[in-house]
Amino acid sequence: DPKIIQKPKYLVAVTGSEKILICEQYLGHNAMYWYRQSAKKPLEFMFSYSYQKLMDNQTASSRFQPQSSKKNHLDLQITALKPDDSATYFCASSQRDSQDTQYFGPGTRLLVL
Amino acid sequence: GDSVTQTEGLVTLTEGLPVMLNCTYQTIYSNPFLFWYVQHLNESPRLLLKSFTDNKRTEHQGFHATLHKSSSSFHLQKSSAQLSDSALYYCALSDGTGGYKVVFGSGTRLLVSP
């Protein structure tokens, strides 16, 4: 059974629209993260959460908003989508903090037209 | 801020030859954690190995790396490349202060041919 679930697997959106990427982890971890990977940039850290609190934000744009309704959920809302947002978005989790191994979900591949 | 440098974007090798992927890092903190993650095609990254102990060799699945704080390096090595080693390899750094940020290098794509 998958331990980190990301929905949807693929997503096509139009420029200017808004989408929510879903992430749930069943590893019992306390920390969750979002990363972005595109052809232009390698794996890029976006956010980290611990016990539903934002711990670090390396995303310059406020169009990206993480949302945590439960300890094992960390969704990513993206507003006013741009073609440059096209990427694979990975959710990850670790037991406690960034010193622990990160376990990555399967990713959501977003294409903005 | 912290940074990780992987100088090779692409490494091409013939099967059976040794592998060495370079990783150097910068941090002001004295006890960083260094990681190597591997990402095969159409998969997500997964941990290959990690270390926080200076001058101690860490091994997993035939790969090994030694953290050298004196040179701020954590190079990945393997004695004999296999076709299945073809993948994207990321070196990553956590500053060791108990924070929640991991800095990834730009990645090195390893292509092993017969």
What tens digit of pLDDT does each residue of A52-93 get? 899 999 887 999 999 998 889 999 999 999 999 999 999 999
Residue in this structure with the two tokens 């040794």, named with its chain if needed: B18
For residue A66, list chain B residues with Cβ-Cβ distance below 8 A. Answer: none
pLDDT band (50, 70, 90) for residue B24: very high
Question: CATH number of the domain that B96 lies in?
Answer: 2.60.40.10
Domain housing B75: 3-113
Residue of A nearest to B48 (CA): A101
Contact B99 A103 (CB under 8 A): no
Residue A6: beta bridge partners?
A: A23
Q: Mutate which of B8, B27, B43, B100 to disrupt the A interface (most A C-beta within 10 Å)? A: B100
Residue of B nearest to A98 (CA): B100
Residue of B nearest to A30 (CA): B100
Judge contact between B36 and B89, C-beta under 8 A: yes
Q: Angle at CA A37, nearest 5°, toward B84 and A8?
A: 95
Residue in this structure with the two tokens 């595109």, named with its chain if needed: A38
Report, as an integer, the average pLDDT of B21-50: 96
Q: In total, how many domains does chain B have?
A: 1
User: Which range, of B4-8, B27-31, B98-102, B105-109, averages the lowest pLDDT?
Assistant: B98-102
Report, as an integer, the average pLDDT of B75-79: 98
Contact B47 A101 (CB under 8 A): yes
CA-wise closest residue to A93 among A12, A33, A46, A42: A33
What is the model's pLDDT at position A41? 83
Residue A42 has pLDDT above 90, yes or no: no
Report, as an integer, the average pLDDT of B36-54: 96
Using CA atoms, how far apart are residues B22 and A109, in angstroms rounded to an integer?
A: 29
Q: What is the pLDDT of residues A8-37, one digit of tens each?
A: 999 999 999 999 999 999 999 999 999 999
Residue A1 has pLDDT above 70, yes or no: no
Using CA atoms, how far apart are residues A67 and B91, in angstroms rounded to an integer?
A: 28
